Amino acid sequence: MPEHDVLIVGAGLAGMRAGIESFRNGVDVAIITKVHPVRSHSNAAQGGINAAMGGEGSDDSWEIHAYDTVKGSDWLGDQDAIEIMAREAPQDIYELEHMGVIFARDEYGRLTTRNFGGASRQRTFFVADITGQAILHVMHEQVLKSGMRVYEEWFVLSLIKQDGACVGVVAMDIISGAVEVIRAKAVVLATGGIGRVYEPSTNGLICTGDGHALAYRIGAPMMDMEMVQYHPTTLKGNGALLTEGARGEGAYLINSEGDRFMKTYAPSKMELASRDVVSRSEITEIQEGRGVDGCVFLDCRHLGEKLIMERLGQIYELALEFANVDMVKDPVPVRPGMHYIMGGVKTDVDGATQIPGLYAAGEGANISIHGGNRLGANSLLETVVFGRRAGAAAAEYAQQSGAHPAAPESDLIEAQCQKFQMLMDRPDPGFTTAKLRLEMGVSMDKNVSVYRDEAGMQETLKTLQDLRARFDKICVHDKGKVYNWNLYSTLEMENMLDVAEAIVVSALARKESRGAHARLDYTERDDDEWLKHTLVYHSPEGPLIDFSPVTITQWPPERRVY
Amino acid sequence: MTTVNLKVKRYDPETKESRYQEYSIDVDENAALLDAIIAVREYQDPTLAVRCSCRSAICGSCGMRVNGHARLACKTKLAEIAPNGETVTVEPMGNMKPIKDLVTDMTAFWDKVKQIQPWLRAQQPPPDHEHIAKPDAMMDLAGTMNCIMCGCCVSDCASLEVDQNFIGPAALAKAYRFVGDPRETEQARDDRLKELSKYGGVWDCTHCFECVQVCPKDVAPMDRILDLRRTAMEAGYQDNYGAKHSNSFAKSVKNSGWLNEARVAVESFGVDDVSAQLKMLPTGVRALLRGKMPPLLHHKRPGSEHVKRIFQEMEND
């Protein structure tokens, strides 16, 4: 049975950064991931990564970056964590540069920045519009350099909890179908987002909230799961992401009358207001009849061909390939689309969850940096700052714990194999996992999206209960062992049902509007009652809601205007 | 909606047999090939194995052969390749073993990437701030940075097909990304060029252009390989068949206005390498029998002095 001091689940940016930090701390670390590391969804981050470095002619500081983040979060972010991120950001940017990331540079050869949403200063470092891809590939280079073990294309089935602590995982090698126990003194979850809970979503097909569900089932709470971000500029048709960097470079949002409608909603920041604000504005424009086919337009024409090709080449391609629009010549039809979840497994500032030995980092964790709404280019930053911190903390925890505790290995494996057999032996119920997922996604997008209300969310909650009952009849048709997508996508669906339910229950609980959680039946932010985090715990009877206070260090709540 | 007809090459890992299976499915007019494959997997045949995730040509998972050439399925519009409902043939990538259906074993692919030591080797310790580097030099790397390691170039590489030892287009393009990086130390750059000039390296590409043609991200691996050759020769790595061939080729044209084929053949292996020369003998005999032996006496072409002048002007530039 394989054993490691630290086992990282997920090989996106947070996971690989955590792995590298554990490695540097001298422990035996391995990464386990359901796709090859460079297929991870960190790839899709386009626009950039924030850090307040000041520099010539700029009065930027970590405090201003932190304040912008607090304001972006609608005061739901924990300010101690936000301070850490803003303070440590510059050093992490330099480290990425030293690792080999080819950031954009100015004429003097120094790193340069672009504007981004919700930021009062220009502080977004970038690599054209492929920042995530550029950093992800470099991080993978560092993993290769370290020589650490990577379990590629392994799917984690469950976390092993023994005497209250997490001591490893049960996992399936997707290629061979073999189930194994991998013991670890500390486990770091870095499994990313939950986009597939929604339909459509900008997220890849792999974003199924596995880590959220794994931690939840062994008793770690998820926090602020109602906070789901809709990105203002997703492409009409296939819903592909078009970076906020476009607006950072000066692109406009216009309605069917050609008006820059953001002047009505955010007269000072205009197109670069927070994402929740811009997405709500777009929905209002469309609902009031100033959209076209459910879309508004991203207008890049005045930016000129040279800038578009050099800095926005990928989204130029996407618009051309998938919507037949040449953005040099025409405005691109866009609409808000599900993009990110601020909520995640609750952790402290070192990534520790409430279960000893279990850590989390990245989109799957909630530290909480983003609170009610994440600022663009803070997510890549979160992955490196808190991936690093979680990797260090997990290594330290592993060093302090004794020998690997013995786990009843064969029972754990046998239980999973029996479950697979049961799934394969069932009669065909006449519907598939894919069909159930689609129903879930459509319902979530209809009722738990940019605007929400009690009736709609109750409808989705009922839908989810119905889906769960039908899911219990699902049959896996592929009886083979090798690369059985039918099997592992069914296990992903099981994870997503837990996540979806947690989102809806949390959203029903929060009776106010804050950040991305905009309720038509409680339209105002209510600091007296709701300046607190929602927690959701797993129980056999269903999700249990609890609350915890928000940490305020130096920025008391204010009215949020852009 | 429109109906798509797919003919998919399937590989059964248990029987180790391949067969073609046809599917017919309705998809949106704007659909990509991947959308159709996903629809088949979700609604017709959940046993069909394929890797995919982002659906926007960034994760590099869905490389496969489409009508004989490697492509990303998510970046392949059905309206373009089958405007009138023609059957689309889908097969796993080439130069890799199948694992199941369209899922291939990319172990060898990644081993070759590892072989080029794919990480920046800059001066240690690093500066307190960022490295100062010319923006032009960095922009030059932008093209190779677009590489998403999908494997399409390797799938269709003609050299790899005949020689598994060839490092291949993806890993060599990645090597260029480091050789061209101004932050690498002189020593690291030199070591890389030396390694890349060996057997299996930059000189084993046959310029068939397949990798340039099939790359979905315009990385143009072959162009990067040619850049590496030039850089390696400039750095003095000329004692190998490839560099000698190139030098002899240029010398012949410069001096006579055209190619002295017999001499190029001899000089490529080195005039004093008798065993290599002997290995060429059968080729020479076959050429002779078919009347394709180049003339043993090589005459200058009329006007060859103009060619020489062009060479001299280029050398002076």
Distance from CA of A471 to the nearest CA of B (A): 15
Partner-chain residue, chosen from A102, A141, A241, that has the shortest CB–CB distance to B141? A102
Element (DSSP H or E) covering residue B274: helix B274-289
The DSSP bridge partners found for residue A149 are: A30
Of B149, B118, B144, give the one whose Cα is nearest residue A144. B118
* Interchain pair A432, B55: CB under 8 A: no
Let me know if A23 is exposed, middle or buried by CB neighbors in 10 A (0-12, 13-18, 19+).
buried
Partner-chain residue, chosen from A41, A97, A130, that has the shortest CB–CB distance to B131? A97
pLDDT at B271: 80
- Residue B122 near chain A (CB below 8 Å): yes
Alpha-carbon distances, residue B113 vs A12, A413, A469, B34, B189 (angstroms) = 19, 35, 47, 27, 17
The residue of chain B with its CA nearest to that of A206 is B53
Considering only CB atoms, which chain A residues are within 8 Å of B147?
137
Tens digit of each residue's pLDDT (9 = 90 or more) over B193-251: 999 999 999 999 999 999 999 999 999 999 999 999 999 999 999 989 899 999 999 99
Tens digit of each residue's pLDDT (9 = 90 or more) over B274-317: 888 888 888 888 888 998 888 778 888 898 999 999 999 988 87
- Residue A204 near chain B (CB below 8 Å): yes
Considering only CB atoms, which chain A residues are within 8 Å of B32?
238, 322
Distance from CA of A457 to the nearest CA of B (A): 27
Partner-chain residue, chosen from A36, A130, A145, that has the shortest CB–CB distance to B119? A145
Considering only CB atoms, which chain A residues are within 8 Å of B120?
98-100, 138, 141
Beta-strand relationship, B63-66 and B69-72: antiparallel
The residue of chain A with its CA nearest to that of B126 is A98
Distance from CA of A91 to the nearest CA of B (A): 8
Partner-chain residue, chosen from B43, B49, B138, that has the shortest CB–CB distance to A485? B49
Partner-chain residue, chosen from B99, B122, B138, that has the shortest CB–CB distance to A483? B99
The residue of chain B with its CA nearest to that of A40 is B59
Q: Which of residues 315 through 344 in chain A touch B, CB cutoff 8 A? A: 317-318, 321-322
Percent helix, strand, coil in chain A, to 5, is 40, 20, 40
* Interchain pair A39, B60: CB under 8 A: yes
Distance from CA of A60 to the nearest CA of B (A): 17
3-state secondary structure at position A130: coil
Considering only CB atoms, which chain A residues are within 8 Å of B30?
237-238, 322
Please give the Cα distance from A440 to A506 (Å, whole number): 17
Considering only CB atoms, which chain B residues are within 8 Å of A137?
145, 147, 149
Structure tokens at A226: 């109602």
Catalytic residue numbers of A read 275
Let me know if B290 is exposed, middle or buried by CB neighbors in 10 A (0-12, 13-18, 19+).
exposed
Element (DSSP H or E) covering residue A500: helix A485-509
Partner-chain residue, chosen from A44, A138, A480, that has the shortest CB–CB distance to B58? A44
- The one-digit pLDDT tens for each residue of chain A (562 residues) are 899 999 999 999 999 999 999 999 999 999 999 999 999 999 999 889 999 998 778 899 999 999 999 999 999 999 999 999 999 999 999 999 999 999 999 999 999 999 999 999 999 999 988 999 999 999 999 999 999 999 999 999 999 999 999 999 999 999 999 999 999 999 999 999 999 999 999 999 999 999 999 999 999 999 999 999 999 999 998 888 999 999 999 999 999 999 999 999 999 999 999 999 999 999 999 999 999 999 999 999 999 999 999 889 989 988 998 888 999 999 999 999 999 999 999 999 999 999 999 999 999 999 999 999 999 999 999 999 999 999 999 999 999 998 777 767 889 999 999 999 999 999 999 999 999 999 999 999 999 999 999 999 999 999 999 999 999 999 999 999 999 999 999 999 999 999 999 999 999 999 999 999 999 999 999 999 999 999 999 999 999 999 999 999 999 999 999 9
pLDDT at B296: 75
Handedness of CA A356, A361, A367, A371 (dihedral sign): negative
* Interchain pair A39, B49: CB under 8 A: no
Distance from CA of A285 to the nearest CA of B (A): 27
Q: Which of residues 225 through 284 in chain B touch A, CB cutoff 8 A? A: none
Partner-chain residue, chosen from B47, B135, B138, that has the shortest CB–CB distance to A477? B47
Considering only CB atoms, which chain B residues are within 8 Å of A141?
118-120
Q: Which of residues 263 through 302 in chain A touch B, CB cutoff 8 A? A: none
- Residue A439 near chain B (CB below 8 Å): no
Amino acid at site A523: T
Domains in chain A, please, with CATH?
236-336 (3.90.700.10), 409-545 (1.20.58.100)
Interface with B, mutate which of A42, A91, A98 (most B CBs under 10 A): A98
* Residue that wins the pLDDT comparison between B28 and A230: A230
Please give the Cα distance from A446 to A463 (Å, whole number): 12
CB pairs under 8 A between A and B: 157
User: Which pLDDT band, with edges at 50, 70 and 90, does B27 fall under?
Assistant: very high
3-class DSSP string for B171-230: HHHHHHHHHCCCCECHHHHHHHHHHHCCCCCHHHCCCCCHHHHHCCCCCCHHHHHHHHHH
Segment B57-62 mean pLDDT: 96
Contact between A464 and A500 under an 8 Å Cβ cutoff? The reply is yes
Domain boundaries, chain B: 2-104, 107-234, 242-316
Q: Cα Rg for chain B, rounded, in angstroms? A: 24
* Interchain pair A130, B145: CB under 8 A: yes
- Residue A98 near chain B (CB below 8 Å): yes
- Residue B54 near chain A (CB below 8 Å): yes
Beta-strand relationship, B88-91 and A296-299: unpaired
The residue of chain B with its CA nearest to that of A201 is B54
- Quote the CATH superfamily of domain B2-104: Beta-grasp domain (3.10.20.30)
Helices (H), A50-99: 62-72, 79-99
The DSSP bridge partners found for residue B11 are: B18
Of A40, A27, A346, A417, give the one whose Cα is nearest residue A193. A40
Partner-chain residue, chosen from A44, A93, A130, that has the shortest CB–CB distance to B54? A44
Contact between A232 and A334 under an 8 Å Cβ cutoff? The reply is yes
pLDDT at A407: 65
* Interchain pair B106, A36: CB under 8 A: yes
b/e map B69-86, b = 16+ CB within 10 Å:
ebbbbbbbbbeeebeeee
pLDDT at B265: 84
- Residue A43 near chain B (CB below 8 Å): yes
3-state secondary structure at position B44: coil
Q: What's the ipTM? A: 0.95
Amino acid at site B25: I
pLDDT at B315: 87
Considering only CB atoms, which chain A residues are within 8 Å of B141?
102
Please give the Cα distance from A38 to A192 (Å, whole number): 14
Cα torsion A285, A286, A288, A291 to 10°: value is 90
3-state secondary structure at position A114: strand
Of A13, A364, A7, A15, give the one whose Cα is nearest residue A171. A7
The residue of chain B with its CA nearest to that of A94 is B130
pLDDT at B269: 85
User: Which fold does the domain B107-234 belong to in CATH?
Assistant: Fumarate Reductase Iron-sulfur Protein; Chain B, domain 2 (1.10.1060)
Distance from CA of A340 to the nearest CA of B (A): 14
- Residue B185 near chain A (CB below 8 Å): no
Considering only CB atoms, which chain B residues are within 8 Å of A321?
57, 75, 77
